[in-house]
Structure 1
Amino acid sequence: MPQLPEPLERLIQELSRLPGIGPKTAQRLAFHLLRVDRVRADSLAQAIEDVKARIGYCERCYNIAEGPLCAICASPRRDPSVLCVVESAFDVLAIERTSEFSGLYFVLHGVIS
């Protein structure tokens, strides 16, 4: 394949570092971003910047949070006597979608071996 311009090569390289994105998918995404209008590309870039600037981890449970505490830890409606230890924030979302659990969480961000 002919040499691509450096900014495009860099974008492909960065996209391929994302989980589940191989070199071919990264290439497809990069070429798609080349085709979209500037407003959409800027919107994506801004969303990434906003997440990195405004989202962190809860001081208490390590769930994702837009402040010192996540919405779950900050809620007075949660039962602090019940704790669910989970691997990732994805697990918190999955459990919360059931609307069956009213306790608190602790997010490990990994597995215990």
Structure 2
Amino acid sequence: DRFGSRDLAAMWVTERNTRVSAKYVDARFSALRDGAGLDPALTLHCLRHSYVTHLVEYGYADKFVQDQVGHLHASTTSIYTSVSGDFKNRVLSDALRRFRQMEAEL
């Protein structure tokens, strides 16, 4: 075992068999963001919001998205979601189409 036999419940470990600190990850992300010329307001946490939004826009089930990010309540997941105008228009168009179909069948 490359990291020894100690069971370390960490996603990323250092060569010293310790956890990579959140401070280090944030600093590294900031350096990469700045090097790419991206807005300094972009944080590592923004990627979590983007992940949730993309799952929703690609049609994954609400419960799946909620479970993916470990939220107990769907209302918390909804705070993380910021869907695009195109997505909103598509959802509205689909709803109106279904409504018109239902009316036509009556």
Q: Which has the higher helix share?
A: 2
Report which of the two structures shows the higher radius of gyration computed on alpha carbons.
2
Give TM-score, length-normalised by structure 1: 0.23
Question: TM-score if structure 2 supplies the norm length?
Answer: 0.24
